[in-house]
């Protein structure tokens, strides 16, 4: 029991320390306080701009899949999409009847079936948070080199 209390107290103290450090950096940047580099005390004067997120590339025919069961990729930006327990912005365009109005692909019928196989009138809770499986596609340079080949290239 005592070991559990000591361990949890240590974890809480470590978490609070990390939070204070992160908050301190944010406050220092907002107040124009010079930040010092970890490597030798030099003042960091350059603040890099965030990466350009406006660019979203996609092919006219959509994206091909790397393997048979791969969830379809999202060919548009989703930066400001909100998915909460009471609202899923994706469904405005991809659920019936909005999909016809916006000419968007309709959600697969498999997304309306729960774990017990019961057909539902709304998206099943296990399929509600779209970004668990679906990700936006961008024609970006790989961060790490790899030799990945999709399923059709391996044959």
Mean pLDDT (the chain) is: 76
DSSP character for 106?
A: P
Confidence at residue 14, expressed as pLDDT on a 0 to 100 scale:
74
Per-residue pLDDT at 53: 43
What is the greatest pairwise CA distance in the chain? 63
pLDDT band at 55 (very low <50, low <70, confident <90, very high): very low
C-alpha span between 131 and 142 (Å, rounded)? 21
- CATH class of the domain comprising 68-140: mainly alpha
pLDDT at res. 120: 93
- Higher per-residue pLDDT: 92 or 30: 92
What pLDDT band is residue 97 in, cutting at 50, 70 and 90? confident
In terms of C-beta density within 10 A (0-12 exposed, 13-18 middle, 19 or more buried), how is residue 73 classed? middle
- Calculate the CA 41 to chain-centre distance: 35
Q: Tell me which of 108 and 64 has the higher pLDDT.
A: 108
Q: Where along the chain do its domains lie?
A: 2-33, 68-140
Q: Report the predicted TM-score, pTM, of the whole model to 2 decimal places.
A: 0.53
d(CA 139, CA 64): 13
């Amino acid at each position: 029991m005592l070991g559990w209390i000591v361990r949890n107290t240590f974890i809480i103290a470590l978490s609070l320390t990390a939070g204070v450090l992160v908050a301190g950096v944010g406050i220092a940047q907002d107040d124009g306080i010079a930040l010092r580099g970890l490597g030798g005390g030099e003042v960091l004067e350059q603040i890099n701009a965030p990466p350009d997120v406006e660019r979203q590339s996609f092919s006219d025919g959509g994206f091909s899949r790397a393997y048979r069961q791969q969830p379809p990729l999202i060919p548009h930006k989703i930066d400001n999409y909100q998915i909460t327990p009471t609202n899923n912005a994706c469904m405005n365009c991809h659920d019936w009847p909005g999909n016809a109005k916006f000419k968007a692909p309709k959600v697969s019928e498999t997304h309306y079936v729960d774990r017990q196989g019961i057909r539902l009138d709304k998206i099943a809770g296990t399929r509600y948070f779209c970004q668990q499986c679906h990700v936006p596609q961008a024609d970006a340079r790989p961060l790490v080199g790899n030799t990945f080949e999709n399923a059709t290239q391996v044959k």
